[in-house]
Chain A
Amino acid sequence: MDVLNLTISSARDALKAKKISSKELTKLYFERINKIDSKLNSYVLKCEKEALIEAENADKKIAKGEGSALTGIPCALKDNFNTKGIRTTCCSKILENFTPMYDATSVSKLKNENVVILGKTNMDEFACGGSTEYSCFGPTKNPWDFTRVAGGTSGGSAASVASDLCLFALGTDTGGSIRNPAAFCGCVGLKVTYGRVSRSGVTAMSSSWDTIGSFAKTVEDAAIVLQAIAGRDKRDSTTPDVKVPDYLKNIDKGIKGLKIGIPKEYFGEGVDTGVRDAVMNAVKEYEKAGAKISEVSLSLTKYAVAVYYISMPAELSANLARFDSIRFGRKPTNEGKDLMDYYLNSRGEGFGDEIKRRIMIGAYVLSAGYYDAYYLKAQRVRTLIIKEFENVFKNVDVLIAPVTPFPAFKIGEKCDNPLAMYTADILTIPVNAAGLPALALPCGFSKSNLPIGMQIIGPQFSEELLFQAGHFYQKITDFHKKKPEL
């Protein structure tokens, strides 16, 4: 069996029909990972022993005629998801040997369905970055061009799905960290409504911006994964009690009469012509099939980066205060003479530059004398951004826009220029400001054969609609089926 053309759906059919066992499937994936991943560096930890046990358990279930859509399906998890008994580092030196004692809620939900966890994937340290270059394990390469980044911060998860090194992967999206690598690597990336999936057990980056989501080969597969992990969790009090619909039931509904807004600020100066053209070609397909297209304006788009880079570091600085190498974490090489020294050294040695930058921005904007001017101001502008989206959604059902202004950039190109790295997120951040869901999917390739992604954005809790729109597009195009040469 060739893993290259499998999806969750087709793998599940094969498992049910006993064409292959989960154990055999798992072994095939590890064969491929061991052969290819040294070129990509998408996995930071391979869990072969545990995975084979999970696969055996899945096979027992399948033999009894039990199991669900994800039973026996091999997947990968970004390394900020707590996995009980399995090292979880957030790709930071300070957690280099940390082993959680419990599973994240989303992980235990997957384990209840007997998935097979192949390993943990690479990310920017503590989910701070935009390219997976700020990892203590080195960068993840783009499967389409090894001299380029895989995107970030969930670069490892995206690269592994795009390279057929797993059937789906989980990631987190706080300012674009699922959609950006999905676009750069050419796979589907789902950012959910804030609160749709429990964040319990996933290392917090910025608590009012963080979301848990997935990477998959197809929109249908992304819907299957969301079905398993969505829902209220008493361990995460920011998960509203909103019913989880059957995401697959109406996925074939089609898009006739769908009102699609094209936000003009997402197609302006700074966005590559190639990216603009690819996304507009996709829009034309929707129009041909009966959708109603209209231009809309989101005039506050250009302020979103500033809002994010004030609000997010403030929350981050609070969330990372726990990393002091006392209850857990890496001891500093020089313990110092007192507790202050111990803190300064453990955090000074354990955190990378980007983390330090962000913690300091956070401490600054929250400090006396600056709180009103920066933090409170950013929170007020965030309200304006939310209201602007609400207004736009009075007249359209969804928005379609590019995910990034350009395809994958070269490794090393932006990592010495933090501001350049930040402004690359201009098209993804506004969605996080408003807590909206957005589905990223491949819609073309650049002249140098690099994937281009578009995002379908909807109002809160409209994932079902996004799946319908995305699934329709994947029935009439095959950008998502193209494979990198590995």
Chain B
Amino acid sequence: MPLCYNYFVLSEEQVKHIAKLARLGLNEKEIKKFSSQLTDILEYMEILNELDTKNVEPTSQVTGLKNVTREDEAKEWIKSEEMLTATPLAIQNNQIKVKSVIK
């Protein structure tokens, strides 16, 4: 079963959709360029189709570690006033003021 279609093209519409999902603002020139570059890249991935992986477990990480936990204890580390110095936005009541979310 092929990974995707035999003649694979990532259309400009698909690029626009993915860019929006990933919150990336792209102009028309970029959308064209990426549509062509991403098509080439994703087409290359078809090579994995040559392998039969029917009964193979997927690997998420290579350490074999499971359930690494620690005690849930609060510790003093960095004060919130210090952390807030990193924001480029305005601060109000120890909170970061962002643009409107609800229309």
Q: Which residues of A are interface residues toward B (Cβ below 8 A)?
A: 98-99, 101-102, 194-195, 207-208, 234, 237-238, 240, 300, 302-303, 305-307, 309-310, 317, 321, 324-331, 335-345, 347-349, 351, 353, 356-357, 359-364, 367, 370, 373-374, 376-384, 386, 418-419, 422, 434-435, 460
Contacts and interface: CB of A to CB of B under 8 A. Distances in A.
- Where chain B touches its partner, the secondary structure class is loop
Contact of A325 (B4, B50, B88): B88
Contact of B57 (A317, A344, A380, A422): A380
A101 B82 contact: yes
Interface string B11-45: 00011001111111110001000100110111011
Given A329-B88, A373-B4, A363 B98 contact: no
A251 to B, nearest CB: 26
Contact of B59 (A101, A237, A356, A383): A383
Contacts of B87: 326-328
B48 A381 contact: yes
A329 B56 CA distance: 41
Contacts of B26: 348, 356
Given A194-B62, A377-B48, A380-B53, A347 B24 contact: yes
Interface in B43-64: 44-45, 47-48, 50-51, 53, 56-64
A83 to B, nearest CB: 15
Contacts of B19: 356, 360
Nearest to B43: A419
Given A303-B51, A374-B3, A378-B48, A418 B99 contact: no
A357 B24 contact: no
A376 B58 contact: yes
B101 A326 contact: no
Interface of B: 3-4, 10, 14-15, 18-26, 30, 34, 37-38, 40-42, 44-45, 47-48, 50-51, 53, 56-65, 68, 70, 77-78, 82-83, 86-89, 96, 98-101, 103
Closest 9 CB pairs of A and B: A348-B25, A379-B58, A435-B62, A344-B25, A380-B53, A237-B68, A331-B88, A328-B86, A343-B23
Contact of A363 (B21, B50, B78): B21
A339 B101 contact: yes
B3 A356 contact: no
A339 B98 contact: yes
B68 to A, nearest CB: 4
A361 B41 contact: yes
8 contacts: A101-B82, A102-B77, A238-B65, A325-B88, A339-B101, A344-B25, A356-B26, A373-B3
Contact of B86 (A99, A340, A373, A378): A99
B45 A344 contact: no
A418 B103 CA distance: 40
A215 B100 CA distance: 47
B63 A238 contact: yes
A359 B24 CA distance: 9
A361 B21 CA distance: 12
Nearest to A235: B70
A100 B56 CA distance: 42
Nearest to A343: B23
B15 to A, nearest CB: 7
A68 B46 CA distance: 52
A96 B23 CA distance: 20
A135 B14 CA distance: 28
A364 B88 contact: no
Given A310-B45, A361-B41, A384-B53, A324 B23 contact: yes
